[in-house]
Amino acid sequence: MVSLARALLNTNKILLVDEPTKGLAPKIVAEVAETLAEAAKTVPILLVEQNLHVVRQFAAGAVVLSGGRVVHTGSALEFLDDADLTQRLLVGAAAGAAFAAFTEFVLIRRLYQRHIEQVLITVGLSLAAVALFDGIWGTDPVFIQGPAWFKETTEILGARVPNDRFVCIIAAVLVLLALVYFLKNTRYGMIIRAGVENRSMVTALGIDVRKAFTLVFTIGGAAAGLGGVLASHYFGYVSPMLGGSLLIFAFIVTVIGGLGSLTGAALAAVAVALLQQFANFYLGGTGDFVVVLAPALVLLFRPSGLLGRTS
C-alpha cells in the first residue's frame, strides 16, 4: 500500500502494478482494489494480477496468460460469470461424498466402539489435509466470482441484503428438510436411528448396519461439499484455512443444540448466527467472544444441550 501510495503521488502517464494483492488478507485485498479502481479514473493502469475479482472491478480489458502464452483477450466483463453455480454445487457435493465414504470405509469403520480414537483420527485427518493443500496450492486465497446476480441486493424492511445470502438460506432449509425426511420416512433412515440406539440388536436381526453408517458419512460429506461451495461464494475466495475457521462454529452449534437432535442443531445454528451478528453490531464487534461463551453457559445449566437426549 505504501509503494502504491508513493506511485500515485507522482505525475505518471501510465502506472505499472505487478500483483499488488499477492499474499494479502482478503480485507486488505478489497482495500487495494478500491484504491486501484479510484486511481484508474485519473491514470491508465497496466495491472498484472492473478485475482480476477480485482481485475473485474475496474479493468477495461483483460489478457489471460498461461505458460507465457496468451490464451484469451477481451473485455473484463466476459469473466463476470466464470462458472455455472449448479455445476459447482454438484461437483462439491460429489467430491465431499466420495471423500467421506472413502474415509469411513478405510479409517472410521474399525473405530465405532472407540470414540476417542475416532476424534483423534478425524481431527488429525483434517489437519493433515490442510497441510497437504497448503503444500500443493499454497496459503494465498484463490478469489472466485459467482453469477452476476449474486452481488446484487434485495431490499427487505429497508435493509439491502446480497442475493447470495438468500441462496445460502434456501440451500440450508432444503438440506435440513431432506435430512429430516430421509431419517423419518425411509428404510435406511429407520435403520440408522435404530443402529444408533442399539447397534448389536439391529445386527442380530440380520441387518448390515455398516452400510447404513457408510451412507451416513456419505450424506454428511455431500452436505459438507455443498456448504464449502456456498461458503466460498459467501466469503468470495477459497483457501485451505477456510474450513478451519468455520469448524469451531460447527462444534458450538452441536454443543448448544444437543447431541442426537437434528432440530436442536438447526435451532442452535440460527441462534448462534443471530447472537453473533447482534453482538458485533451492538457490543463493539464482540460476536465471536459471545458465541464462544454461549456453549459454556449452556453446558453449565443444561449439559445435554437445548434439545439433546439425557443419558
DSSP state of 141: -
Partners of 158 in beta bridges: none
Higher pLDDT, 47 or 168: 168
State residue 47's pLDDT score. 77
State residue 173's pLDDT score. 92
Digit-coded pLDDT (tens) for 21-57: 776 766 677 777 777 777 777 777 777 776 666 666 6
Among 101, 119, 50, 105, which residue's Cα sits nearest to residue 79?
Answer: 50
Angstrom distance (rounded) from CA 53 to CA 236: 9
Angstrom distance (rounded) from CA 250 to CA 229: 16
Q: Which grid cell is 59?
A: 479493468
Digit-coded pLDDT (tens) for 245-271: 788 888 899 889 888 788 888 899 999
- In this predicted structure, the answer to whether residue 293 has a pLDDT above a threshold of 60 is yes
What pTM was estimated for this model as a whole? 0.70
State residue 66's pLDDT score. 61
Digit-coded pLDDT (tens) for 80-110: 545 577 888 899 999 999 999 999 988 888 8
Q: Which residue has the cell 478469489?
A: 143
Q: Distance between the two ends of the chain, CA-based, in angstroms?
A: 57
Average pLDDT for residues 274-302, to the nearest whole number? 88
Who contacts 301 (Cβ-Cβ below 8 Å, separation ≥6)? none
Higher pLDDT, 71 or 122: 122
The torsion angles phi and psi of 84, rounded to 5 degrees, stand at -80, 130
Phi-psi domain of 305 (left: phi exceeds 0; alpha: psi -120 through 50; beta: other): left
- DSSP E strand boundaries for 27-86: 45-48, 62-66, 69-74
3-state helix, strand, coil in the chain (%, to 5): 65, 10, 25
